[in-house]
Structure 1
Amino acid sequence: MTKVRSLSYNIDTNIARTEEGYARETHPAWRANARAPEVVEALDAVLVAKRPDVVNIQECRQFETKFGDAVDSLTPLLDQFKLRGYEALVNNYNEAGGDKAFKFITAYDPQKLTLEGSYMRYFTRTPSQPTVRPDTSGMSPEEAKAVADQIKDHNFGSEWERGVQVTKFKHRDEDEPFYSINVHLDLPEQHRLWERLSLHWHPNSTGKRPMTRYRKLHIPSIHTRSLRHCSLNAVRQ
């Protein structure tokens, strides 16, 4: 069986804290555009030294702040992938986030891999569809809060739905395809449990299929350190 090299990298493009919040003026070096050269340099060092077959990036953004300046942590990475001969796919975490939504990048080496398809699956009560968000502009505060609570329940505790970008590849030396799963889930406990189960499923971490005994555990009884930015790659069909 051919080994597939994979890389996962969360680049942390924060709006509330660094781009529009308290650190915008006090810590300008934290801002995405200021950090971009170092992020690209770190990524490129791995691309050159290890030449991973698949690279999954989380927390890219491309938007205009409320102050009118442009933030772009996406384009520099796409340019670097192109320079190194990679193809890249980009997907929003969710549709309702608009221009400020986080974006996934899944990049791959076309000399080794053939792209066979890509799609999103959401960690919500409707896995194949983004969360429906009613217009609350004409609602009372109580009604708007009820809608927000319903959305959080639908998303298993998150205000904004999270999901995974699933990409199907075929290696040039293999007959069977494999799936690269780009993951960035949230902090609520259900999300952490799902991540833990996913890691048990990942053959590179345990070599086992999902452990069915975990499915019977009461979720609050699971206490794990949050693995927020895990990326599960080379999961065979």
Structure 2
Amino acid sequence: MSDAVQPTAAEVRAAAEAVKTALDRHLAAVERRSGEDDPAVYEAFNDLAAAAEAYDELLYDRYDEVTPFEIPGAEDALPPYTGPEEPNALSVLIRRDYAVVEPQRLLAQAERIEAADDEGAEAAGTVHGALGVLFGEFEPDEIASRHKEFGLEEGDSTLWVTAADVAAEPGEWLEMPFEGIDPQRVVCRFDVSTVFDDEIGDVGDEIDDGDDLEDDLDTELDEDEDLEPLDVDR
């Protein structure tokens, strides 16, 4: 970055003061919250996130340094809940992703199901047909718990619980079951992703690297006949 567009030290200092102000406002909003989904807390959160991001960018541009914390962006958070306080109905939306990693295992399982039904069907002869047989035979939760048996590998999954004023009429939404979901009526959501596992794994890798260093040290000492082996506490 050229000196002409580089932020000044005063601009960085002003951005830091803005973070402090936003932090105080966020704490005050939390202390005065009127409920679990208080819009004032949501707004203060977004203001703090924006101030922190601006400061982080200026700090990097000016000093080539970054802050040691991350605040999720507003797009990662649900908007404040505006549904009924006492919902009379709810919808549970579930998405589970799988990869077909062993097609032959999937086909074999589907063929067993068809053979047990003794209906002479041949849907299990293709992967998409086998999937239809599998999901027609087992509940989604059972498939999730036994996915490896069926040649599947789990991907991300999410579950959303949304509130409604009244239950839908029979057949009302069957043509487009996942369209028109209002994020402001999401009561709660639960996400599962390997992304979270990777974050934990990064810490474990650092520990493993330390173990590898000790292993290398032991090997070098053992190869030198003039040195006594070194005991390293693990």
The TM-score normalised by the length of structure 1 is 0.25
Structure richer in helix, relative to its length: 2
Choose 1 or 2 for highest CA Rg: 2
